[in-house]
Amino acid sequence: MTLSSSVIAYHGCDITTRDDLVSGRVKHLRHSTNKYDWLGAGAYFFEGDEERARNFAKASHENPGKFYTAKPIATPAVVGAILRVHNWLDMTTQAGIREFALAYPAMLKGLKTVPENRAASKDDKDIIYRALDSAVINFIHSTRKDDSSLPDFEGVRGAFYQGDEVAPMSGFHANTHVQIALREDKCVLGWFLPAGDKLLAEAELAEARARLDAAILASKKPRVKPG
C-alpha cells in the first residue's frame, strides 16, 4: 500500500524524550522489541490521536510497576511526528489480513511451542499480551528479508478495540485507537510539539532529567511484566 500523503502520529513519552527529538539532540525513537507488542517490533505511535498518546504516557507514569514502557516515564508528555510510509502492512485492510492469515500456518511449521495471546492480568479485558500476533508479524518481516522479490514493510498499522463500551452492546470503546509500529526511521519526516506545548527551559530540562534518573533508579527493583 502506498500513501500519497503524510500521516500525523503521536508518541507518548517522557518530556525529556519529547524535547530531545524536537530539538534534534536525538534523531529517532528507540524501537520496541517486546515479545508481546501487538504489531511486532518497531517505534510505536498513535495515529492522529494526541489525547490517546497523552493518556498512555500518563498511565505509564502512574503505574510504574507495570511494563508499559521500556523505561519509566517521570514527566508524561507527547511528541508529534510526520510520517511518510510507502509500504504498509496494514491490518485494517483485507490485503493485510490475508498476509497475516497466510503467514500464520507457515510460521507454525518451524515452532515447537506456539506463542499465545492472553490477558496480562486478572483485570485485563483487552488481552494486551499479544505474543502470537507479534510473532506472526515479525515472521512476515523475516520472510520478506529472505525474498528479494518482496519489498520490506516500512510500517505496520492496526486498529484496536480497547476499554469499556461507550454504550451497551456498542461497537465503540473508550480507548479504541489506530496504532502504528514504524520499522524504518527514514519514514519520519519531522518531529513537532503538540499545539500549546513548548520546549523546556534549560533549568526545567535539567530538573526533568533528574526526575527521570530517579525513576530509572527506582525501576531497578523488580517490575511486573505482562503475562
State the residue range of the domain holding 123.
Answer: 7-218
- Domain membership flag for residue 121: yes
Question: What pLDDT score was predicted for residue 67?
Answer: 66
Per-residue confidence (pLDDT) for residue 227, from 0 to 100: 47
The cell numbers describing 11, all together, are 508518541
Report residue 183's pLDDT band, with 50, 70 and 90 as the boundaries: very high
pLDDT at 89: 96
Q: Using an 8 Å Cβ cutoff, are 77 and 18 in contact?
A: yes
Does residue 225 fall inside a structural domain? no
Q: What is the pLDDT of residue 4?
A: 47
Q: Is the pLDDT of residue 225 over 90?
A: no
Three-class secondary structure of residue 178 per DSSP: strand
Say if 2 falls within a structural domain: no
Residue 223 lies in a domain: no
pLDDT digits (tens, 9 = 90+) for 49-105: 999 999 999 999 998 877 678 889 999 999 999 999 999 999 999 999 999 999 999
Q: Mind listing the pLDDT tens digit for each residue in 10-25?
A: 999 999 999 999 999 9
Report the share of the chain in percent with pLDDT over 90. Answer: 75
Give me the mean pLDDT over the 194-217 stretch. 96
Lowest mean pLDDT, pick from 16-25, 46-55, 144-153, 194-203: 144-153
Q: How many structural domains does the chain have?
A: 1
- Is 169 among the domain residues? yes
Q: What is the mean pLDDT of residues 30-58?
A: 95
Mean pLDDT (the chain, rounded): 91
Name the pTM for this structure: 0.91
| Domain-located, residue 36 | yes
Nearest CA to 104 out of 143, 63, 78 is that of 143
User: Which one, of 63, 61, 21, lies nearest residue 212 by Cα?
Assistant: 61
pLDDT (0 to 100) of residue 5: 67
- The reply to whether 226 falls in a domain is no
Residue 62 lies in a domain: yes
Closest Cα to residue 14, out of 72, 64, 68?
72
SS3 per-residue string spanning 183-206 = CCHHHEEEEECCCCCCCCCHHHHH
